Amino acid sequence: MHRVYLDNNATTPLLPEVFEAMRPYFGESFGNASSIHHHGQETRAAVENARESVAKLLGCAAAEVIFTSGGTEGDNLAIAGLVNSGDHVITSSIEHHAVLHAAKHLEEMGCQVTVLPVDGRCLIDPRDVRRALRPKTKLVSIMMANNETGVVQPVEEIGKIAAEAGVLFHTDAVQAAGKVPIDVKKIGCHALTISGHKLHGPQGTGVLYLKKGTELRPLFYGGRHERSRRAGTENVPGIVGLGKAAELATAALVRGDDKKMASMRDRLQRGILAQVEEAGVNGDAAARVPNTTNIRFDHVEGESLVIALDLRGLAVSTGAACSSGAIEPSHVLIAMGLRAEQARASIRFSLGKQTREEDINFGLSVVLETVRRLRELSPRYKKQAVST
Ligand code: PLP
C-alpha cells in the first residue's frame, strides 16, 4: 500500500545520514565516554563533537548544551530545576503537557503558577506576561512554536520583558528547532528545550540549553556527567545522532529548505480550502513554522477522519487526547476559543524533510475524497445541508 506520512510533529523519520553517523557507536565504538582509555576517549570526542553541532544550531557555547533523554526531560529539568518552593511561575495555556503538568506539580510543591491565555490566533500577548509579574516571579516558561498549530510566539519580546524584570525565561523550542532559525542570545532566554526526534534525529534524545551562570537543581543525582547538571552515562549513539541531525538542520536552514516546505504546506492548505466546504485553518492569522497546518473540517469527527485517512495510506493526527476513556478535545484549540465540536473536527498535517510534491498531491486527493464520504454518512451534516 502506498503510504504518505504527514505527522512529523509527532515524530520524524531518522535521516539515513543520521543513522550512518550513529552506526559505529552501536558496534566497535562502544566505550563509556567517562573512561580514560582509548575507548572512552573515542566516544568522548564524538559526544563533544555533537555538542558543538547543537551549539551551532542554537547560537550558544558548547558548554551551555546539556544532553537529555528528550523534550519532556528538558522541560521538566528547566521547570523543576530553576524554581524553589514559594516562587511564582508564568506559563501559558497552550504549552505541551511536559510543561503544563510540570507546572501543576510545582503548584503541589508550594509554588504559585499563572497560566496565561492566548487569543484566537493562538498568540500570547507579551503585555499579559508583564501584567502577570509579581515580586516572587522566578520563571517565565513560554513555548517558541506550538505543536498543534505551528504558531510562533513572540519570544524575543517576552525575553526582553523577563530581562527587564530580572526573572528567568525558559522556552520549549521542541517544535521550532530545525524549522526556523534559533538564536538563544536574540531570544534572551536562560533555558531552551529541544528534542532529537522532532528534527530527524533519534527518539529518546534531547538538549536543554542552559545559559552560563544560571543555577540549576538537577533532576537526577549520580555521577558528574554533563557538568553535574544531568547524571547518567551518556547515550553516545543517540547524542551522535542528535548532533548529526542538528548539523543537517543548520545546513538546511542556510540553504532555505524551509521556504520550499512552506510552499508545499501552503499548496496542501489552499487545495483543501478551495475544494472542501466548511473547512478552515486554525492559527493561520499568525506566523507559523513552515511545516504545520491545522485544519478544521466542520461536521466531521476528527478521530474518524484520522482512521479513515490511515486506511487509505495517509498518516495525520488530531490534537485530541484520550483521557479516562473519553476523547478530550485539544487544550490548545479550546484555549484559542474553538467550541469542543470544532476542536474535535480539526486535523494536524505536518510535513518533514522527506515530504515531496507528490506526497502533497496524494494527501490532497485522499483528504478531499475521505471528507466527502464521511460527510455523506453524517446525519448531522445532511440535516444541516438540507436546512441551509
Ligand atoms: N514539547 C513540545 C512542544 C512537543 O511537541 C513535545 C512532543 O510532542 C515535547 C515537548 C516532548 O518531547 P519528547 O517527545 O522528546 O519527550
DSSP letter for each residue of 52-85 = HHHHHHHTS-GGGEEEESSHHHHHHHHHHHH--T
The answer, yes or no, to whether residue 168 has pLDDT greater than 60, is: yes
Phi, psi of 293 (to 5 degrees): -145, 140
Site to probe by mutation for ligand 1, drawn from 11, 67, 72, 197 as the one with most ligand atoms within 8 Å of Cβ, is 72
The answer, yes or no, to whether residue 385 has pLDDT greater than 60, is: no
274 C-alpha vs ligand 1 centroid, how far in Å?
Answer: 32
Q: Using a pLDDT cut of 90, give the percent of the chain over it.
A: 94
Q: Which CATH code fits 4-12+256-387? A: 3.90.1150.10
The answer, yes or no, to whether residue 323 has pLDDT greater than 70, is: no
Is 96 touching ligand 1 by the criterion CB < 6 Å? yes
Is 201 touching ligand 1 by the criterion CB < 6 Å? no
Closest CA to 202 of 233, 236, 242, 243: 242
141 C-alpha vs ligand 1 centroid, how far in Å?
Answer: 14
Q: Report the atom number in ligand 1 closest to the C-alpha of 195.
A: 15
Is 283 touching ligand 1 by the criterion CB < 6 Å? no
pLDDT tens digit string along 293-314? 999 999 999 999 999 999 999 9
pLDDT on residue 388:
46
pLDDT tens digit string along 31-40? 999 999 999 9
275 C-alpha vs ligand 1 centroid, how far in Å?
Answer: 33
Is residue 300 classed as helix, strand or coil in its secondary structure?
coil
Q: Report the atom number in ligand 1 closest to the C-alpha of 206.
A: 15
Task: With residue 234 as reference, give the H or E element that holds it.
Answer: none
Span 15-21, average pLDDT: 98
Higher-pLDDT residue of 381, 79:
79
pLDDT tens digit string along 169-187? 999 999 999 999 999 999 9
99 C-alpha vs ligand 1 centroid, how far in Å?
Answer: 9
Give the residues across from 350 on adjacent strands: 7, 292
Q: Report the atom number in ligand 1 closest to the C-alpha of 146.
A: 3
Single-letter residue type at 128: D
Q: Using 50, 70 and 90 to split pLDDT, how confident is the model at 322? A: low
The residue with cell 542556510 is 254
Is 195 touching ligand 1 by the criterion CB < 6 Å? yes
380 C-alpha vs ligand 1 centroid, how far in Å?
Answer: 35
Is 172 touching ligand 1 by the criterion CB < 6 Å? yes
Closest CA to 177 of 197, 155, 154: 197
Domain coordinates in residue numbering, the chain: 4-12+256-387, 16-253
The answer, yes or no, to whether residue 381 has pLDDT greater than 80, is: no
The answer, yes or no, to whether residue 380 has pLDDT greater than 80, is: no
Domains 4-12+256-387 and 16-253 share a fold: no
Single-letter residue type at 320: A
Is 98 touching ligand 1 by the criterion CB < 6 Å? yes
pTM score over 0.95? yes
69 C-alpha vs ligand 1 centroid, how far in Å?
Answer: 11
Which set of grid coordinates corresponds to residue 361? Answer: 498531491
How far apart CA 354 and CA 8 sit, in angstroms, is 10
Mean pLDDT score across all residues of the chain: 96
Q: Whose CA is nearest to atom 8 of ligand 1?
A: 10
Return the number of other C-beta atoms located less than 10 Å from residue 254's C-beta: 9
Phi, psi of 208 (to 5 degrees): -110, 120
Q: Which CATH code fits 16-253? A: 3.40.640.10
Question: Which active-site residues does the annotation give?
Answer: 322
How far apart CA 106 and CA 86 sit, in angstroms, is 9
Q: Using a pLDDT cut of 70, give the percent of the chain over it.
A: 96
The residue with cell 474518524 is 304
DSSP letter for each residue of 104-159 = HHHHHTT-EEEEE---TTS---HHHHHHH--TTEEEEE--SB-TTT-BBP-HHHHH
Q: Using 50, 70 and 90 to split pLDDT, how confident is the model at 378? A: confident
How far apart CA 363 and CA 296 sit, in angstroms, is 16
pLDDT on residue 383:
60
pLDDT tens digit string along 358-370? 999 999 999 999 9
How far apart CA 217 and CA 240 sit, in angstroms, is 26
Per-residue burial over 230-239, b if 16 or more Cβ lie within 10 Å, else e, is: beeebbbbbb
Cα torsion angle, 334, 340, 343, 344, sign? positive
Single-letter residue type at 255: R
pLDDT on residue 355:
98
